[in-house]
């Protein structure tokens, strides 16, 4: 076997391993939310008033800022590699502090979507008396499960990022 074919096998094996590890790791991390956010458990009742998917630009920007240090820096020495890793951790820390971690591409593999929208912590009648019940947020939800103006359960993850589930359907 030639050196070139060994590299190709290594790259293909790495891609396959990465795909499956991303897919199952994120599902494992997110699996508890659906069960935990139920009536009588954690979370609270909310209503989705508006939702739009995040653009692909948000995701591509996230990827590029993590990949550019890996590709563009010289990794011929341990010091250069250490600097690259420090830069990547610094970029991730910035994303976490600014709530941009919600555009993490791993969510593509989890069967969940990220939306920008408006949620309400009360009924429409309550909103007319108290506008603070409505919030502009980013929320994560299983794909194709959005129900407008019906009760959903949710939990705040960080600042204005929420995880929502509609495992609680109104009996109206």
- Decide if 110 is inside a domain: yes
| Residue 171 domain-assigned (yes or no) | no
Strands (E), the chain: 44-53, 112-120, 134-142, 151-158, 161-165
Distance CA 104, CA 18 (A): 15
Beta-bridge partner residues of 115? 53, 139
Q: What is the DSSP letter of 54?
A: P
Q: In which domain, by residue range, is 63 found? A: 3-165
106, part of any domain: yes
CA neighbours closer than 13 Å in the CB half-sphere of residue 74 = 3
Q: What are the structure tokens assigned to 66, written together?
A: 């993590």
For 67-119, what is each residue's pLDDT tens digit? Answer: 666 666 666 778 877 887 788 788 777 776 666 655 666 666 667 788 888 99
Residue 65 covered by a domain: yes
The answer to whether position 170 is within a domain reads no
Confidence of residue 169 (pLDDT cuts 50, 70, 90): very low
The answer to whether residue 172 is domain-embedded is no
Please name the residue that has the structure tokens 């094996």.
13
CA distances from 145 to 36, 51, 105, 142 (A): 17, 12, 20, 6
Identify the pLDDT of residue 43. 81
Domain count, the chain: 1
Q: Point out which residues pair with 119 in neighbouring strands.
A: 48, 135
Residues near 7 by beta carbon (within 8 Å), at least 6 away in sequence = none
pLDDT at 66 over 80: no
How large is the average pLDDT for residues 149-164?
Answer: 83
Query: Using 50, 70 and 90 to split pLDDT, how confident is the model at 171?
Result: very low
Report yes or no on 13 lying in a domain.
yes
The answer to whether residue 23 is domain-embedded is yes
Give dist(CA 138, CA 54) in Å, integer: 9
pLDDT of residue 102: 56
């Amino acid at each position: 076997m030639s050196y070139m074919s060994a590299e190709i096998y290594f790259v293909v094996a790495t891609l396959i391993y990465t795909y499956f590890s991303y897919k199952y790791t994120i599902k494992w991390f997110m699996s508890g939310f659906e069960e935990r956010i139920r009536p009588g458990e954690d979370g609270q009742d909310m209503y989705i008033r508006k939702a739009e998917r995040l653009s692909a630009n948000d995701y591509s920007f996230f990827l590029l800022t993590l990949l550019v240090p890996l590709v563009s820096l010289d990794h011929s020495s341990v010091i250069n590699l250490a600097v690259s890793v420090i830069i990547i951790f610094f970029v991730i820390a910035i994303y976490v502090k600014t709530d941009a971690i919600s555009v993490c591409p791993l969510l593509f593999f989890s069967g969940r979507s990220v939306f920008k929208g408006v949620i309400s912590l009360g009924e429409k009648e309550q909103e007319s008396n108290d506008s603070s019940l409505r919030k502009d947020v980013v929320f994560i939800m299983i794909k194709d499960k959005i129900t407008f103006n019906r009760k959903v359960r949710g939990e705040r993850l960080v600042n204005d990022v929420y995880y929502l589930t509609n495992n609680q359907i109104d009996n109206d």
